[in-house]
Amino acid sequence: MTGWIDSHTHLDSDELYPQCAEVLQHAASAGISDMLLVNSEAHEPSFRRTMEIVRIESEIRKYASLGVHPHHALQYDTELEKLLTSFLNQERVIALGEIGLDFYYDFSPQEVQIRVLERQLQLSLERNLPVVIHCRDAYSLLAEILEKNARQWRGMIHCFTGTLEEAEALMRLGFHISFSGIVTFRNADMLREVARCIPQDRILIETDAPYLAPVPHRGKTNEPALVVHTAILIAKLRQSTEEDLSESISQNFQALFRT
């Protein structure tokens, strides 16, 4: 069976955590080889749950990325930073994130989002950790901020929904581009074009579960097993075999996160 990697999933979420053993079982049956677990909330129980799931015995290789999401930027203070950095020291934490800008929801004021993003970017540079970036409606400002803080980055733009030009600007800064189930949605022609065109050595896929379930499960609770639908669609778009795409994604994930 082809082995797929879910590069961004929230198993600590209230939707998935109570059934995480089953969810891991489904993923193993669907041929998921690796997953990157990302905390859903900016508090200790969310970090702790994420690390607890990472350590569950299973045939799937599990890693964590921890950070403070732009939605929670207002909660960022020295105490939260201390908590975050103590968790970043734990084994199998391979990235810092998700961090970034969300100017679609604006749950935190934009200037606070920018300050908290820059602070966490500095933490990632100090620790030589790759970053997992969340961005909505702010790709050009994001690229500016990234470039101001370092010329070259190791990181992924998770759930990318921008244009090909925006993807290219971020790839020039060193980033990998990750596609979620949105690429399977009926109205996503522009995003499918990006997924068809970007270089094979920069592509990753993810669920962002429990959100964004791909077609034909759109609207239901998402889980890592369903990344297969996104994978198959992208292989078709790129006129690639599933084996070739899966091989490239595995290489890209390893190159980025040095797993």
Using CB under 5 A as the criterion, which residues of the chain lie in contact with Zn ion when the complex forms? 98, 134, 208
Nearer to Zn ion, 12 or 208 (CB): 208
> Shortest distance, CB of residue 202 to Zn ion, whole angstroms?
19
Nearer to Zn ion, 134 or 192 (CB): 134
> Shortest distance, CB of residue 134 to Zn ion, whole angstroms?
3
Which residue's CB comes closest to Zn ion?
A: 134
Nearer to Zn ion, 2 or 9 (CB): 9
* Distance (Å, whole) CA 12 – CA 19: 10
Nearer to Zn ion, 2 or 203 (CB): 203
164-172 vs 189-197: helix crossing angle, rounded to 10: 40
Question: Which residue, 244, 224, 175, is CA-closest to 13?
Answer: 224
> Shortest distance, CB of residue 33 to Zn ion, whole angstroms?
20
In this structure, the chain runs to a length of 259
* Distance (Å, whole) CA 114 – CA 133: 13
Torsion of CA 249, 202, 216, 63, to 10 degrees: 50
Question: Which residue, 8, 4, 1, 12, is CA-closest to 132?
Answer: 8
> Shortest distance, CB of residue 241 to Zn ion, whole angstroms?
29
> Shortest distance, CB of residue 68 to Zn ion, whole angstroms?
12
Question: Which residue, 52, 51, 4, is CA-closest to 29?
Answer: 4
Nearer to Zn ion, 88 or 206 (CB): 206
CA angle 90, 157, 146 (to 5 degrees): 90
Nearer to Zn ion, 2 or 124 (CB): 124
- How is residue 89 written in tokens? 């020291």
> Shortest distance, CB of residue 247 to Zn ion, whole angstroms?
25
DSSP 8-state assignment for residue 6: E
Radius of gyration of the chain (CA): 17
8 A C-beta contact, residue 225 and residue 27: yes
